[in-house]
Structure 1
C-alpha cells in the first residue's frame, strides 16, 4: 500500500509557489517514486484538485456550498446529480490510478480543503476514503502570522476587485484568521499525529525556504531537486485590469497591528499549545514578528 501526503493549504501561505514547483517537477518526482499530477480543468490558475472538495462533500452526503468550486467543475448550484457525477468520475479515475501502482507516495495539494465552507463531516469522510487507499496519510498545512496573512489577503482582494475599502475596515469585517478553527476540524478528523503544521517563515522552514522545506516533508535529501519556483499567483490574473496589477499592500500602523493581535490572541494561543508546546519561546518570537526585536 502506498503512502500519501496531502498539502491542505492555507491560501496566501505559499500554496501557489508549492504547486508550481510540484507541477514543474512531476517527472522528476515520479522517478523517485512520488506521484503528483495536476488535477484541475482550469488552465489560467495553479490551485489544483478542486475535485477533492467536491468528493469530500459527496462522500458526506452534503451539497458543496462553494460556488467557485461548483462553477469550476461545471456543477449547477444545488444540482446534486451533477455533483455526484463529478465526484464519482474523479473517484473512479483516482482509485484506478492508485491500483495501477508505480509509486510509493502520492502527494496532493488543494487550498479548497481549508476553505471556510468545509464541514467536519466532509473532512472526516475524505480522510476515511484516503485511509482506505493509502497506508500512512499525512496532512500538511503552512501557517503565517495573522497580520502578514491579512495584509496579503487584503492586497489580493484589492487587485481582484479594485475595491476602495481601507485596511482597517477589512480587518474589522474579516475578523480573526481562520487557522485555528480549520486546523481544529482537521485535527479532530485525522488525529494530531497525522497533521503536520508548519510555520511559513524563513527562520522555521528547513533550508530557509518553502520548497526546500517541502522536499524534506517528502523525504528527499536537501538539494535532490531544484528548489526555485516562479512565485506568481495566477488565481485571478485573467480578471484583473492592467492598472490593478500593481502591488497594493499597505504598511500596518501600530494601532491596526495591535487590533489584529487582539483579534487573534486566543486562536494563536491555541495553535501554540496544540502544535508547538515543545517550542513555545520560538513560537512566541515568531508570532510577535520582526518588530518585537527592534
Structure 2
C-alpha cells in the first residue's frame, strides 16, 4: 500500500500557508531513514494528478501561488478508469514507499462520508495518516468574518450563530468520522501553532532548509478590508476572493499595516464560548495528552477574560473610516506593486521575444512552460 499523509483542514487554520510552501517545494528531503524524500501531490477535479515540475508549472496560472487537491465531491464521480490510473501513478511516485506522499485540502474535513462511502483509500491502495489543525472558536469566528462573513450580506450576530451551529460545533463529530475511517493511531489533531509550516514539517519528518523559508500570510490588513467595505465591487461575495491573493502577492503588506479589526463584543465572545463549550471539550479528546493539558489551561478556549483587552471595531463600515496616513501608506504600497508587476511583465516579454520559455520561480529554480513540455 502507498504511504500517504493527508492534511484535511480545518478552514482558517493555516491551510493556505501550508499549501503555499508545499506547492513551491513539492519534493522535500526526509530526515527519517524510512523515506528518501517527501512528495507533495495534488489531484484536480478531473482526476489529473500533479507532482514535481508539473505541479510547479500550474502555479504560474494561480493567483494564490498555491495548489490543493480537489473537493471530495469530485472524487465520488471518478470512473474506475480514472481511479485505476491514479492508483498506478501513486504507486510509481511512491517508489515502493521510498517516498512519502502528501495531499492537502481543507474542505476534506467536512466530507468523511464521501471518503468512507466511496472507499477511496481502498480504491487508490493508500494507507493514510490524517492531520488536522484546529483553532479556538472565538478567534476563528473573527477571522472567518473577514474571510467570508463581511461579504455575505449577513449581520454579525446571524453570522456568529451560523458559524457556531454549522461549523465549530461540528468539529468533533467530523473528526470522529475520520477516526473511524483511518483508526485512532492514524488521526493527528493539533492546535494551530504560530508557524504551521515548521510544525507540519517537523511532524512528517521533513529536513528543514532555506527552501522552506517562504511563508504565505493570506490574511489581509485592516486598511484593505475597510477599503473593500467602502468599495464592495472589489469583494462582491464571500467566495470571490481572487483579489485577496493578488494584493497579497504584489503589495508589500508588512508589519506597518494593521491586523484585521476585532469585531466581537464581550457579549458575543461570551455567547460563542458558552455555545461551543461542550463541543470544545469533545474536541480535546482528539488531541495528544500533552497538548490537551496545555489547551485546557488556555483561556481563549474557555473564558471571555482572555479577550478583555481587545479593541472592538464595527463589523460594518459604510462611511469612510481610513485616516489620511492609512490611505497614503496603502497608495504607496499600490504604486510599488504596480512597478513590480510592470517589471515582471517586461521580463516575460523579453523571454518570449527570445523564444526562451523558461520562467523563473520565486526560489530561483526554473521549469518550462506547459506549451514547451515534451
| TM-score over 0.5 for the pair | yes
Task: Tell me: CA distance 1:96–1:179, structure 2 relative to 1, closer, same or farther (3 Å).
Answer: same
1:110 to 105, 113, 118: 105
SS of the residue corresponding to residue 226 of structure 1 reads helix
Asked if 1:167 is matched to 2:156, the reply is yes
Q: 2:129 — aligned with what?
A: 138
Q: For residues 10-61 of structure 1, what are the alpha-carbon distances to aligned partners after superposition, in whole Å with 9 as ceiling and x for unaligned?
A: 1110001100100111144599521213434783454511164422xx2xxx
The answer to whether the 8 Å contact 1:40/1:47 transfers is no
The answer to whether the 8 Å contact 1:276/1:283 transfers is no
Taking the aligned partners of 2:292 and 2:42, their CA distance within structure 1 comes to 37
Taking the aligned partners of 1:26 and 1:225, their CA distance within structure 2 comes to 10
**1:143 Cα offset (Å):** 0.4
SS of the residue corresponding to residue 141 of structure 1 reads strand
The answer to whether the 8 Å contact 1:139/1:195 transfers is yes
Taking the aligned partners of 2:116 and 2:179, their CA distance within structure 1 comes to 10
Q: 1:22 — aligned with what?
A: 22
Q: 1:54 — aligned with what?
A: 74
**1:119 Cα offset (Å):** 5.0
Count of aligned residue pairs for this structure pair: 250
The answer to whether the 8 Å contact 1:7/1:109 transfers is yes
SS of the residue corresponding to residue 256 of structure 1 reads helix
The answer to whether the 8 Å contact 1:158/1:248 transfers is no
Q: Which runs of 4+ in 1 moved over 6 A?
A: none
SS of the residue corresponding to residue 262 of structure 1 reads helix
Taking the aligned partners of 2:28 and 2:292, their CA distance within structure 1 comes to 37
Tell me: higher relative CO, structure 1 or 2? Use CA pairs within 8 A at least 6 residues apart.
Answer: 1
SS of the residue corresponding to residue 6 of structure 2 reads strand
1:210 to 177, 180, 196: 196
2:263 to 240, 244, 251: 251
Task: Tell me: CA distance 1:144–1:88, structure 2 relative to 1, closer, same or farther (3 Å).
Answer: farther
Q: For residues 113-152 of structure 1, what are the alpha-carbon distances to aligned partners after superposition, in whole Å with 9 as ceiling and x for unaligned?
A: 123xx2535336224345x334xx2100000111111111
Asked if 1:190 is matched to 2:193, the reply is no
Taking the aligned partners of 1:193 and 1:174, their CA distance within structure 2 comes to 30
Asked if 1:284 is matched to 2:304, the reply is no
SS of the residue corresponding to residue 260 of structure 1 reads helix
**1:153 Cα offset (Å):** 1.3
SS of the residue corresponding to residue 271 of structure 1 reads helix
The answer to whether the 8 Å contact 1:5/1:138 transfers is yes
Q: For residues 166-185 of structure 1, what are the alpha-carbon distances to aligned partners after superposition, in whole Å with 9 as ceiling and x for unaligned?
A: 32221123334032121111
Q: CA RMSD in A?
A: 3.4
SS of the residue corresponding to residue 13 of structure 1 reads coil
Q: For residues 209-230 of structure 1, what are the alpha-carbon distances to aligned partners after superposition, in whole Å with 9 as ceiling and x for unaligned?
A: 1111011122124557524312
Taking the aligned partners of 1:121 and 1:151, their CA distance within structure 2 comes to 30
Report the TM-score when normalising by structure 1.
0.72
**1:5 Cα offset (Å):** 0.6
1:219 to 194, 197, 205: 205
Q: Gaps (5+ residues) in structure 2?
A: 46-60, 221-238, 247-257, 309-374
Q: Gaps (5+ residues) in structure 1?
A: 59-82, 203-208
Taking the aligned partners of 2:28 and 2:287, their CA distance within structure 1 comes to 32
